[in-house]
């Protein structure tokens, strides 16, 4: 049997085959990129706690680093970030402005938004979780977080200051909504230490990062192999000798 490539099937096969290989290679590049991000986050979470960055421009280098801060919550200016648990229960993350205690680096203290954790929908009214409304000067710990750069994607709705419902963290808009100035351009996820009364439930940072790029790469490479196999079988059949008399009418 002879392998006899023909023109038009080959013209169709070559770009499709190369495209599938390119997609597989791209997913491998994404895999290495994601592994780097995972290693970076793991190292950040495992690193010792740091003081609040005095220079906000340096904050991107401290994403997911542990922070310890001192000041007081501005409980009358709570913001509510729509969220659900892994089990699908609907609720909110309570984001509370935190007036920082003045230091030598920050003489006016400043304000940082703190995601205190998750509450069920029926606890949006602070009166229903009064025990957790911490007052006075306190020390809290958590992770420094960087907000997304604008709306995460087209499918995420716009934030609603008018009803105090936020779909994603937008620090300038949140600060404006509750009439605050001097708010830092990053925020903090509160740690898992329990609050009085049990709400909000802190420690909600999602530390794991899904990485399906190897599966995607294998899928593209297998599709390329399947296409090549079909191409080979097709032309191998064309190369089979015809039975005698098959050309006779």
Nearest CA among 25, 15, 26, 29 for reference residue 227: 15
Report pLDDT for 1: 59
pLDDT of residue 249: 47
pLDDT of the residue at 246 = 53
Instruction: Count the alpha carbons within 13 Å of 111 in the hemisphere toward its beta carbon.
Output: 20
Q: Is 210 left (phi over 0), alpha (psi -120 to 50) or beta?
A: beta
Of 117, 109, 50, which is closest to residue 83 (Cα–Cα)? 117
**pLDDT given at position 234:** 86
The two three-digit tokens of residue 208, written as one number:
């794991």
**Where does the chain show beta strands of DSSP type E?**
66-73, 79-84, 90-100, 111-120, 138-145, 183-190
pLDDT of 55: 78
Low-confidence ranges of the chain (pLDDT < 70): 1, 3, 86-87, 103-108, 238-249
Query: Tens digits of per-residue pLDDT, 133-150?
Result: 999 999 999 999 999 888
Cβ distance 78 to 94 under 8 Å?
yes
Note the pLDDT of residue 132: 92
For residue 12, the model assigns a pLDDT of: 92
């Amino acid at each position: 049997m002879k392998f006899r490539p023909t023109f038009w099937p080959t013209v169709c096969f070559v770009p499709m085959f190369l495209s599938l290989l390119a997609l597989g290679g791209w997913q491998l590049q994404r895999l290495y990129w994601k592994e780097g991000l995972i290693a970076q986050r793991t190292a950040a979470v495992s690193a010792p706690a740091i003081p609040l960055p005095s220079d906000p421009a340096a904050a991107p280098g401290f994403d997911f680093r542990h922070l310890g801060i001192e000041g007081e919550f501005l409980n009358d200016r709570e913001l509510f970030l729509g969220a659900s648990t892994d089990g699908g229960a609907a609720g909110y993350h309570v984001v509370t402005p935190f007036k920082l205690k003045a230091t030598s680096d920050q003489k006016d203290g400043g304000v940082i938004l703190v995601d205190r954790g998750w509450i069920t929908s029926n606890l949006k009214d602070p009166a229903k979780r009064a025990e957790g409304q911490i007052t006075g000067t306190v020390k809290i710990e958590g992770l420094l977080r960087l907000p997304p750069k604008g709306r995460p994607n087209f499918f995420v709705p716009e934030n609603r200051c008018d009803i105090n419902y936020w779909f994603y963290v937008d620090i300038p808009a949140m600060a404006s909504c509750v009439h605050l100035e001097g708010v830092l351009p990053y925020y903090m996820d509160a740690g898992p230490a329990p609050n009085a009364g049990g709400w909000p439930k802190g420690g909600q940072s999602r530390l794991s990062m899904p990485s399906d790029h190897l599966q995607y790469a294998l899928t593209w490479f297998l599709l390329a192999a399947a296409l090549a196999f079909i191409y080979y079988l097709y032309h191998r059949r064309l190369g089979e000798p015809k039975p005698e008399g098959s050309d006779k009418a």
